[in-house]
Amino acid sequence: MNIVARYLLALVPLLSTMLCCPLSSPGGSAPPPPPVGSAPPNSAPGIPGFGAVGVPRAQFLASWTTLVGNGFCRQGMYFRECFTVTEAECLELTTRAAQNCISANMATIPDPIPAGYGETLGRTLGECAGTSYEQALAVQGKRKNDAICNDPSHWIP
């Protein structure tokens, strides 16, 4: 697993909590998404402010895009410290990568996002966006090649 994937896995609980979608139980996995367009089961747990059906897809994706950019681009974070970019450049690149990943996966993203599925969806989209960001900047020669940036244990809590 590359450093980006490990870093993103460390961010998933934080992003999932911030998106108000509960994490799966310890040792368990998030439920698979329902088929696009299908109604959620009557027993679907409610999310405060969103009723029993989950989070509207557009709202979830807009919040996720903002949170990922803010998470990736804070001073001291891997995506800022290991690449020669300003905060504004990082936010622009992260937003573009996130939007491209959302577009590429839109057909498989249910509407609404069921409770408990935010973690899985956030991880999938986050790995896509982080990998895209890193590859784009590496091609431009903007990834730093030093001991700290090449050491996953420095970036993963």
On whether residue 139 sits in a domain, the answer given is yes
Q: Is the residue at 29 inside a domain?
A: no
pLDDT under 70: residue ranges of the chain: 1-52, 157
- Tokens 């329902």 -> residue: 34
Whether residue 1 is contained in a domain is answered as yes
When divided into structural domains, the chain yields a total of 1
Residue 26 belongs to a domain: no
Q: What is the pLDDT of residue 155?
A: 78
pLDDT of residue 136: 94
SS3 121: helix
In a domain, residue 28? The reply is no
Query: Is residue 25 a part of any domain in this protein?
Result: no
pLDDT of residue 154: 79
pLDDT tens sequence across 8-23:
545 544 444 444 443 3
Range of the domain at 81: 1-11+57-157
Q: What is the pLDDT of residue 153?
A: 84
Give the model's pLDDT for residue 39.
42
DSSP 76: T
Residue 46 in domain? no
Answer yes or no: pTM beyond 0.75.
no
Residue 70 forms part of a structural domain: yes
